């Protein structure tokens, strides 16, 4: 959504390829290509490549990126793709490969095993419970996965889970030490990276979560761990040739910083980057050599998500109002006075 608006306002011809129910498809900006299936997506991308050879293509969803990497690798020859560098994308989008990079530079991460290895090597009794079981990387696009992230509290539950999973699921799922449910100790490092070198960045605390992995309020973090977060994220990224937007997720437990995952794509609260760097997109597009950095600590809010949370927990209402009325420092997610329809479609959805 953010990229569609920004590129369109810079007078680029934007073609938006996606499913009808995606919020960005209801923007007034961009030429829309609605897809109905994975097969239709491939056909549409082939057709566009014939019409516009070597078009620049920004992939803004982890699910689309994983599908294209796994099932349509020719996409990376047909287009100038952002994010760039396939090997690096694969390293960063696959958790156990990311952890190998982390291990190289002594960055901590939760102890992790592929479920198939747990079964084959009879590790069930050796794991530290509770465990959290999740996908090693996004692999589904249109099809809904049978398995969703699950907390496993003891050996018996792990044995039961292994009994019902398919062989493919066991090789695609990881289990790792659960570092706790307190999401206020979760931090993200958002950045624009060029060939593994961080060019623009921001460290944030995800203050409130609509659900796991989906924030409603994000605030720039400049506290005691900010420098360490930046150093550890850069140490991992410098081993790659990745180019594009990404965010690196960390969690603090017992005073230690742990890397959770990297999302090598434009992240959900990316608009906070523009609040921090007002010339973000001109810089990324090569129109500016330097991007001015806003000295104020900035904030981001998805109003609808946060209103739902406030109804459940009214004690947070004062903080929400403070964010809303902090005009100089905050930015919104979907709401845009010049392009309001996506906001109202979000309400409908």
**pLDDT for 182:** 83
251/302 same-domain check: yes
Radius of gyration of the chain (CA): 21
pTM of the prediction? 0.93
- Both tokens of 115, joined, read 């479920």
Whether residue 83 has a cis bond before it, omega within 30° of 0? yes
206/251 same-domain check: yes
Asked if residues 186 and 229 have their Cβ atoms less than 8 Å apart, the reply is no
In the chain, the number of structural domains is 3
pLDDT single digits (tens) 21-68: 999 999 999 999 999 999 999 999 999 999 999 999 999 999 999 999
293/194 same-domain check: yes
- Given a cut of 80, whether residue 179 has pLDDT beyond it is yes
pLDDT single digits (tens) 138-171: 876 677 778 889 999 999 999 999 999 999 999 9
Residue 24 lies in a domain: yes
Residue ending a domain, choose from 150, 177, 204: 177
Residue 142 lies in a domain: yes
For residue 348, name the pLDDT band (cuts at 50, 70, 90). low
**pLDDT for 291:** 95
133/154 same-domain check: yes
**pLDDT for 184:** 82
234/301 same-domain check: yes
Q: Tell me the CA end-to-end span of the chain in Å, nearest whole number.
A: 16
Range of the domain at 126: 111-177
194/278 same-domain check: yes
318/199 same-domain check: yes
How far apart, in whole angstroms, are the C-alpha atoms of residue 113 and residue 127? Answer: 9
206/236 same-domain check: yes
């Amino acid at each position: 959504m953010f990229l569609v608006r920004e590129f369109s306002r810079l007078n680029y011809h934007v073609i938006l390829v996606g499913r009808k129910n995606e919020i960005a498809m209801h923007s007034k900006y961009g030429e829309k290509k609605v897809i109905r299936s994975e097969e239709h997506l491939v056909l549409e991308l082939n057709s566009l490549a014939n019409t516009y050879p070597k078009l620049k293509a920004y992939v803004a969803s982890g699910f689309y990126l994983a599908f294209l990497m796994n099932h349509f690798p020719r996409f990376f020859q047909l287009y100038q793709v952002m994010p760039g560098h396939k090997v690096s994308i694969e390293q960063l989008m696959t958790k156990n490969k990311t952890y190998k990079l982390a291990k190289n530079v002594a960055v901590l991460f939760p102890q992790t095993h592929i479920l198939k290895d747990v079964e084959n090597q009879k590790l069930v009794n050796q794991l530290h419970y509770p465990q959290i079981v999740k996908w090693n990387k996004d692999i589904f696009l249109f099809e809904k996965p049978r398995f969703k992230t699950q907390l496993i509290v003891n050996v018996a539950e792990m044995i039961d889970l292994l009994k019902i999973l398919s062989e493919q699921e066991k090789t695609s799922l990881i289990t790792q030490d659960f570092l706790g449910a307190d999401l206020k100790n979760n931090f993200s490092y958002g950045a624009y990276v060029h060939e593994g070198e961080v060019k623009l960045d921001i460290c944030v605390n995800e203050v409130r979560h609509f659900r796991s992995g989906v924030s409603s309020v994000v605030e720039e973090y400049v506290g005691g761990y900010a420098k360490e977060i930046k150093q550890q994220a850069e140490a991992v990224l410098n081993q790659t040739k990745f180019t594009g937007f990404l965010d690196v997720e960390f969690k603090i437990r017992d005073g230690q910083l742990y890397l959770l995952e990297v999302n090598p794509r434009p992240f959900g609260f990316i608009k906070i980057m523009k609040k921090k760097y007002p010339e973000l997109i001109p810089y990324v597009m090569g129109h500016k050599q330097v991007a001015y950095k806003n000295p104020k600590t900035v904030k981001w809010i998805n109003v609808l998500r946060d209103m739902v949370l406030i109804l459940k927990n009214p004690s947070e209402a004062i903080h929400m109002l403070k964010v809303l009325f902090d005009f100089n420092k905050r930015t919104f997610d979907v709401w845009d006075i010049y392009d309001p329809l996506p906001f109202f479609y979000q309400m409908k959805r």
